[in-house]
Each structure stands twice: as C-alpha cells, then as structure tokens.
A and B are shown apart, each in its own frame.
Chain A
Amino acid sequence: MSLFRKMALIIAAISVAVLSGCSGQEYNMREGVTEISREVYDLHMIVIWVCVVIGVITFGAMFYSMFAHRKSKNPNPAKFSHSTTVEIIWTVIPFIILIALSIPAVSLLIKMEDASNSELSVMVKGYQWKWEYKYIDGDDNLGNDVSFFSNLDQASRDLSNNAGSGFSGVEITDENYLLEVDNPLVIPVDTKVRFLVTADDVIHSFWVPDFSVKKDAIPGFINEVWTKVDEPGIYRGVCAELCGKDHGFMPIVVKVLPKEEYEAWYAEKVAEAEAGPDLNERTMSQLMAEGEVAYNKYCSSCHMPNGEGNGPFPSLVGTEMVTGEGTIEQHIDVVLNGVSGTAMQAFGNQLTEAEIAAIITYERNAWGNDTGDKVQPQEIHDIQNGGGE
C-alpha cells in the first residue's frame, strides 16, 4: 500500500504542477467567440463534470474496496455473486444520465446544422496544402470576382525546416508559428457567414476552434457550415484531416473586421480583380528574383528548395523537361495543368501569370540548369486564354 500511495501522490503532484503552470487556453477547450462555440463549451464542461462525478463515485467505491477488503483486513470473503436489484439500478441510472445529457446535445446540434438565412457565403476549398477562399456575393453576382489562396507564411516554413536536428534543436518562440498565413480569410463581424466547404484533391477539414466550426472538405462534394462572430479579431485554425505530407502546414487564419472595414476591404479586392493581371514584360533578373520567392512559396515543399525533389516528388535539376531544348511548352503545360494521378497540381488557376512565368524561368535557370530560357507573363496569359492556337 505504501508504494501505491507514493505513486498516487507523485501522479497528483505532477498533474497539479502542470496545470498550475499554464492558462486555461493551454489545456482546455476554448470558449470561442460565437454563441454556438460558447454553448459547445458549456456542454463540454457539463459532460466533463458528469464524468468526474461518476468517476469519483465509481473509483471511490473501487478504491475503498481495494483498501478495506484486502486479505489482511478481510480474510474471509463474502459469498454473494448476484443481485438483480442492484444490477437493474446500475443499468437504469446510467441510462437516465445519458438521456439527460443527450437532450441539450440534440437541440444544440440542430441549431449548429441550420445554415439558412446566411448573409454572406464564402467557398472554402482545400488543396494540398493551402486553402482557397472565394466570395459569393449575393444572387446577382456569381462572377466570383474576389478569390484568393491562403498559404502558410514563409517565416514558419523556414523555422520548421531550420529547427536543427536531434534533441538540441533551435528553440522556437514565435507565438504564431505554423498558425500564420499570407492571405487570411476576411469576414465581417455580427454577420451570419456560410462556408461552402469542398476540396480539390484529397479530403481536408476546415477547423476554426474559436468558432466551433469543423467541416470536412471533400473533393466533388460541398458541405455547409456557418458562423456568426461577435468580436472583431484574428482567429486561427488548422486543417484537421490528414491530407498528405504537409497536413500540418496548412493553417487557417480568419480576420474578423467591423462591417464598414470589411466593406472597404471587399471593395478594394474587387477593384484589384477588375484591374486585371499584371502582364508587364520583365527582365531576366526580375523574373529570377520573383521566381525564387514564388518557387519557395509554392513549389519547394515537394521539389525542395534545392530543386532535387524528395521521394515521390521528382528532381528538377538537369531533368529533361526542365533543361531540354524545345521542352518549354511541355514545362508550361505541366505547371498550368498538373499531372493527373500525382500530387502535381494544376497551378494555372492558383497563381498569377507573372508568378507562373517567373517560376518557370527560375526553374530553367537555377541550380545550374542555366538554359537561358525566359518566359514572360504575356505568353502564359496567351496560352491560358488562347488555348489551342
């Protein structure tokens, strides 16, 4: 018994020490910033306390018996092995508790699944390994003017890759490490926003804990989920469904703005879209500089920063398609349209003409490929819009 007591004390001491050392955010579900998320949190706390009470009673009886009915204290065991009454009691009581728990759960669930009367719809599309947000602005405008991709920020990616090796790694202190993106999703406060969640390649899952929103993004199907946020702010989430290599590197950042600010942001985005793409001619060094940035952002997680590829992802260094003569069209085609049945995506509708031109130029000239080939944004634009000329 003394050994047992010691162990129990140690375990209790460790847990107290641990819990007192951190704030609730670090070990419990967060309350979040929507009516639904607070109700979810309340239900979560109710279930926890119900479990704690049942646990205390059950384990209390068990520990009492372990202590009081030891052989040294109770050398002659009782003979009973059956009692219909108590068996009925401990079947019925849990049943009643569960029914009682299910009542608030049922009504909350029905509320969560009701996405009707939303004021704004945003399509959320998962890709390996980024998100695309497309604003569907009422019935009269299905032009989807405003849409953009949201990638993990470069700082997190660099930190992750340069964290050293072994147990003596670099200490990472950035609070938003792996939780920061280049273009956050922007929505207005106090507005019922409906997310239409889908995916391009494999299953992803759109999760923003502060909204208590988690919905799988399934290729070929559209799921609906909604939120109505009370407070402006920046809220961070992650992809929750294993979606391949960089599953852990596709965060979600939602910027909730006051309504007027949101309107201003939206108008700016529309104006940007209407201005059309930047197709100005670029010099070789401009293309290489822009290409390096874009390559590291969109391509290097598979083809690696040194272009040498990794496992199933092919090397681009000295490869026929990248360095061979007259292969430029094929190279452009692969980048624009992807390779079906592989992880190589169609980047044609994800990146701007300028980015694609810069990436291809960069790939054909970096890492000693040195082909001297140059691709201009206009060429990409013509191929995308002229098709089969």
Chain B
Amino acid sequence: MADHKPKGISRWLFTTNHKDIGTMYLVFSFIMFLIGGAMAMVIRAELFQPGLQFVDPNFFNQMTTLHGLIMVFGAVMPATVGLANWLIPMMIGAPDMALPRMNNWSFWILPAAFGLLLSSLFMEGGAPNFGWTFYAPLSTTYGPPSTDFFIFGVHLMGISSIMGAINVIVTVFNMRAPGMTLMKMPLFVWTWLITAFLLVMVMPVLAGAVTMMLTDRHFGTSFFDAAGGGDPVLFQHVFWFFGHPEVYIMILPAFGIASAIIPTFARKKLFGYSSMVYATASIAFLSFIVWAHHMFTVGMPVKGELFFMIATMLIAVPTGVKVFNWIATMWQGSITYETPMLYALAFVILFTIGGFSGVMLAMTPVDWQYHDTYFVVAHFHYVLFPGAIFGTMAAVYYWLPKWTGRMYDEKLAKWHFWLSIVFVNLTFFPMHFSGLAGMQRRVPDYAIMFSDFNMMSSIGAFGLGLMQLLFAWILIKVCILEKGEKATDQVWEGAEGLEFTHMPSPAPYHTFDTPPKID
C-alpha cells in the first residue's frame, strides 16, 4: 500500500500523521534541550569559581530562568508528547490519534511559543529574570517589560499541552483495538493517560496564574500585591497547585518507559502490573494535595505544615512500590544489558536517589535548612535528568529501531551511557554537599567554602553537555545518514507489545488500518 503524503516542507506543515507529529515533537524537544543546555553551560561557567567572570548577575538570572522554563516546557514535556504520539496508537492497535488535526495544531503552536520566549533575550531590559517559578512581586511589579512575552508564551504552551492531553485521553478511551481492555494496556499508555488527566487539570491553573500576573501588571488589579489588598503568597499557592502535579507530568511517562523496557531485557513479564497501575494513580492523586511542601518557609500555620509534610511523605509509598516491582521484574529474569536497559536501570537507581532526598525535603523541620539551597537543586535534577531525561533516552534507544528500521551504533551508545553516568553524577551529586553546607540557589557568585564542589559540578556539566552532542551524532547516523544494521521486526529478543509483534520495522506510515485481534 502506497503512502500518499505531500513531499517536502508541506508534509511536515500539514501532516496529521501521528508518526510525523511524534517525530516533530521529538526533534523540537531535542533542539530545545540543546538550547536550554547551552544556558546551563553559561551558568556552570560562571559558577566555575567564585567571583563574577563571565556574565553580570542580571544576565545570570535570565539564564537560570530560561534554562528552567525551556527544559521543563520545551524539552521534557514535548519529548514525552512525542513519544505518546508515536507509541500510543501503535500500542493500543489504533490507526492514528483520535484528533489528528488538533494534533498538528498543538505541535505547531510550540515553535511560536518558544520563539516568543526566546525573543525576549534580545529585548531592551532583557529576558525574564525571576526564576522559572516566577514568584510575584518579582515577576509582576518588578518584572522586565519582556515579562508580557513570557506570559503569552506560557499561555500558548498551556494551550498546546491541554490539546495534546485531550488527544491522548480521547484516543485511549475510543481507539483501542477490540479486546484491548484498559487493564491490558501497556503501562506506558496507562502512565500517559494519567499524565494527560493531570495536564488537563493543572495547565488551566497555570494559565490562571499568568493571567492574574498580566492583569496585575497592566490592568490595575492587585491579586499579588499587598498594597492593594492582595497576597504575594497566593501566587505561590496557585503556582504550586500547578507546579507539583507538573513534576509528575514529567516523570510518569518515564515510569511507563521503564515498565516497558525492563521486562523486555529481563525476558520476564512485568511484576505486579495492576499494582503498578494503582500506584501510578495514587501518585497522581497525592500530587494534588502536597503542593505547599514547596512553601514551608512562607509562614503557613503549623497545622497546614503538618498536613503537607505527612501527605508528601506518603508519596514515598506508591513510589517505593514501583521501584520494588521493577526489581522484582528483574529477579530471576534472564537479563542482558543493551543500551535501553542500561538507561532504564540507571533511571531506576538515580531516580530513587532523588526520591530519598525527596523524603528528606518533605520533613518540614529539616526542610527549613534545605529549602532554596543547592540541596533542592540536586534533588530535582536527580529526578529530572537521570529521571525524566534518561527515561526519554532509554525510550529513544529502545524504539528507534522500530521507528527507523535500523539499529543505532551500540558501541557509541554504550560510551554515551557510561560517560553520561559519570558526568551526571559528577554534576549533580556535589550539589547535595554544597547545599547542605549552606549555598543558596540562584546566585552567580558564592563564598569560597563552596568552591571545590562547584568546580566539580561545572566540570561534570561541561562533560554532560558534550555527551548530548555525541547523542546527536548517534541519532544523525541512524536517522539521516541511514547507517546501521537492519532491525528485525521484533527488534529485541524479549520485546512484547503490538508495535513489536504486529508490524514490520520500520513501522509503515500507516499502521492498523484494520484493528488487530487481541486475546
């Protein structure tokens, strides 16, 4: 069957094909990852030693702000949406996403949104400089003029995410092949379905927060201004009501990825499938009632602090269940260590380290010492870099042969993995120490007792930055130079799931024109 699709640029502009859109999301997120990473390099260069050597403090703040925003909204989130686009229809036996035109639109909004955000770098007064959490009144009364471009950009990203999420929900509920019951769906589909619900529930809250900022800035309201009867802390409540579920939006798809990869390379079924589903759902539920653990120092009533502390600590229970299930999946399996498996295992181990520091941070009395220090920076980079991003890399290595029909260069990929492991730990582990010793976040300069750990972090970060260029080269070799062995249809010896059992490699442009039969 011939694929009829437009040639050249119009194929990509007008496409409604889930595979093309998935590819565009992934390419876009990788470009954003490199841009956000370049900003991290500026940050780490400035922090290489005490003193101001490279940039002035105001520009430094613009870098930390844009690094955070771009990595969260531009790199991690679109990457998982790209994976969802590619994989969900193939995993549930659907021919495409349920709402293909909306799918195209939700992608093409993104370049506009990030164009707006990045253009602020070239404006008078500079880019947003108030941190990715944009606390009022630093971002309202005191924000640079470009803040309005940031607000509009966030609105666009929100629209894009909400549409993407609606598409996933509608697809999963309506497009499953006959016999593909909910409790037979691959865990990646489950985690993404739950992620999608989180997205539709919290992105409007974020939109509300930035809209209130906009009216505070220009239309005389005082939501966040005490002088007009408002409350700056209200901003933080609204922001973190979005912000905490947001961290699960970024990590849940990676949970699904690990749950797909570990059974394949352990050649054993996923342990405790249903408890994995329930654990994911409980994490999602709990994520709505813990937001104020980001705000233990704002002066909440002690009862409020106790509630948020205990609720937060409870998240460790379902998260622990997931980790134990992954280990039980490996137990008495027959394990091999191809690159996707290495990344998935590194994800489990390093994400768990981020989980441990999470439990520490949850405890209010000690959080007073950790809050807003590099300990927090270490914590969330452990769950995001070796967590969400290693998860995504595992996914790319795992499904790339299915997407392109070619195996990547395993030797280079192993180098990429092992060096990444060294550099990621060299970058982020010393941050625990500098944070505990008393170094606060978001500063361009620091006291000399933090010098050694900062220099280590910087060296690690430069190495980690280089590793991404190696990753780009591995991908270019497969995708553009079309080098590499031909992949088999099953790709991996132990792979299960419709995308490996019911279609050739590479997956044809249209799959499941007629739904597969699922027993």
Q: Which of these binds chain B: A94-102, A291-299, A327-335?
A: A94-102
Q: Are B273 and A70 in contact (CB under 8 A)?
A: no
Q: Decide: B422 and A7 in contact? CB cutoff 8 A.
A: yes
- Write out the residue numbers on chain B whose beta carbons fall within 8 Å of the beta carbon of A79: 268-269
B51 touching A170, Cβ below 8 Å? yes
Q: Are B142 and A202 in contact (CB under 8 A)?
A: yes
Determine whether B119 belongs to the interface, using a CB cutoff of 8 Å to chain A.
Answer: no
Closest to B418 in A: A7
Q: Bound complex: CA of A101 vs CA of B358, how far in Å?
A: 14
Task: Indicate if the CB atoms of B50 and A172 lie closer than 8 Å.
Answer: yes
> A83 CA to B271 CA in the complex, in Å?
8
B15 to chain A, nearest CB (A): 39
Q: In the complex, which residues of chain B have a beta carbon less than 8 angstroms from the beta carbon of A176?
A: 447
Interface-located stretch among A138-146, A184-192, A238-246: A238-246
Interface size class of A (residues with CB under 8 A): 35 or more
Contact with B along A149-163 (1 / 0, CB 8 A): 000000000011111
B352 and A18 contact, CB distance less than 8 A? no
A385 within 8 A of B: no
A161 to B313, CA, bound (A): 43
Binds A, one of B16-24, B103-111, B316-324: B316-324
Interface centre among A82, A197, A342 (most CB of B within 10 A): A82
Question: How many residues of B sit at the interface, in one of the four size bands?
Answer: 35 or more
Task: For A18, list chain B residues within 8 Å (CB).
Answer: 430, 452, 456
Residues A102 and B334 in contact, CB atoms below 8 Å apart: no
B265 to chain A, nearest CB (A): 9
User: Interface stretch among B76-84, B191-199, B295-303, B481-489?
Assistant: B295-303
| Distance in Å: Cβ of B291 to nearest Cβ of chain A | 16
B443 near A177: Cβ-Cβ < 8 Å: no
The listed residue with most B CB atoms (<10 A of its CB), out of A29, A109, A170, A242, is A242
- Whether the pair A240, B372 counts as a contact (CB closer than 8 A) is yes
B144 within 8 A of A: yes
A207 contacts the other chain (CB 8 A): yes
Q: Which residues of B contact A (CB under 8 A)?
A: 45, 48-54, 56-58, 61, 125-126, 129-131, 135, 137-138, 141-142, 144, 225-227, 231-233, 266-273, 275, 297-299, 302, 305-306, 309-310, 313-314, 316-317, 320-321, 323-325, 327-336, 345, 348-349, 352-353, 356, 359-360, 363-366, 368-369, 371-373, 414, 418, 421-422, 425-426, 429-430, 433, 436-438, 440-450, 452-453, 456
Interface set of A (CB-CB < 8 Å, partner B): 3, 7, 10-11, 14-15, 18, 21-22, 25-30, 39-40, 43-44, 47-48, 51, 54-55, 58-59, 61-62, 65-66, 69-71, 74-83, 86-87, 90-91, 94-95, 98, 101-102, 105-106, 108-110, 112-113, 159-167, 169-179, 197, 201-203, 205, 207, 209, 212-216, 218-221, 223-224, 237-249, 310-312, 341-343
17 A-B pairs within 8 Å (CB atoms) are namely A27-B453, A29-B436, A30-B438, A47-B363, A71-B335, A79-B269, A102-B313, A160-B51, A172-B51, A175-B447, A215-B297, A218-B298, A238-B438, A241-B372, A245-B58, A247-B443, A342-B142
Pick the 9 closest A-B CB pairs, nearest first. Answer: A220-B226, A163-B51, A248-B443, A223-B299, A27-B433, A78-B332, A81-B269, A51-B356, A77-B334
